[in-house]
Amino acid sequence: MSEVTLNVETRTGLGTGAVKKLRRQNKIPGIFYFHGSKNLPFVVDRAELHSVWGHESGLLEIIFDSKTHKKCVVRDIQFDPVKGTPIHIDLMGIKMTEKLRVNVHIQLNGTPDGVKNAGGVLQHTIRELEVECLPTDIPDSIEVDVTELGIGDSIHVSDIMVENVTVLTDPSTVIATVSAPRVIAEQEVVEEEGEEEAQPEVISQKTEDTE
């Protein structure tokens, strides 16, 4: 597990007006909270925050005003619904000896046999797993090998084993599956419909009445 350092400044200006002013200066407001302690408002440069991308589930060392060091994880990042830019971040302080729950990104590796040799389509059903572990055991990502998957094969959460990590996501959840090519699937539907329509024709013969 890699660790990222994030430099922030204590934030004194609160309220909507102060927050809007900060964002115009390319600064993102945030809150650092820790169980049993007072919440600490802070502000971080947008450029500095880029170091967190792809590391949302990992361990962070946050440095307040270039002097106070604290260990934490990202609890939430809010984004502007139109621009897609970050507008707020929540960081949760941690104890290195206590387990915590985090969501870890799933990385699919390889090309499934059913895709390479049968034209199938790989479907990545879920992108994260909820896990519980010590802060030092948080994986950067959970890698899943999909090379052996054929048409109709799936990998479930129950297939995942990570050392020193307890996976909390429902074991029956499908992580990835390989479905049949769309053209073949559509052809099967057409053939089934054709079979239904191809019923034996009943021929009735009209007999002439004799006088």
pLDDT 10s digits, 189-204: 555 655 655 555 555 4
80-106 pLDDT, tens digit each: 888 888 888 999 999 889 999 989 999
| Full strand arrangement of the beta sheet holding 154-156 | 121-124, 174-179, 154-156
Q: Indicate if the pLDDT at residue 169 is higher than 60.
A: yes
Residue 85: which of 135, 24, 166, 35 has the closest Cα?
A: 24
Give the Å distances, CA to CA, from 185 to 111, 172, 190: 21, 25, 9
pLDDT of the residue at 191: 59
Ranking 47-56, 90-99, 128-137 by mean pLDDT, the lowest is 47-56
Q: HSE-up of 34 (CA within 13 Å, CB side)?
A: 13
**Ordered structural domains, the chain, with CATH:** 3-94 (2.40.240.10), 101-196 (2.170.120.20)
Tokens standing for residue 24: 């115009």
Q: What is the mean pLDDT of the chain?
A: 84
**Predicted structure pTM score:** 0.70
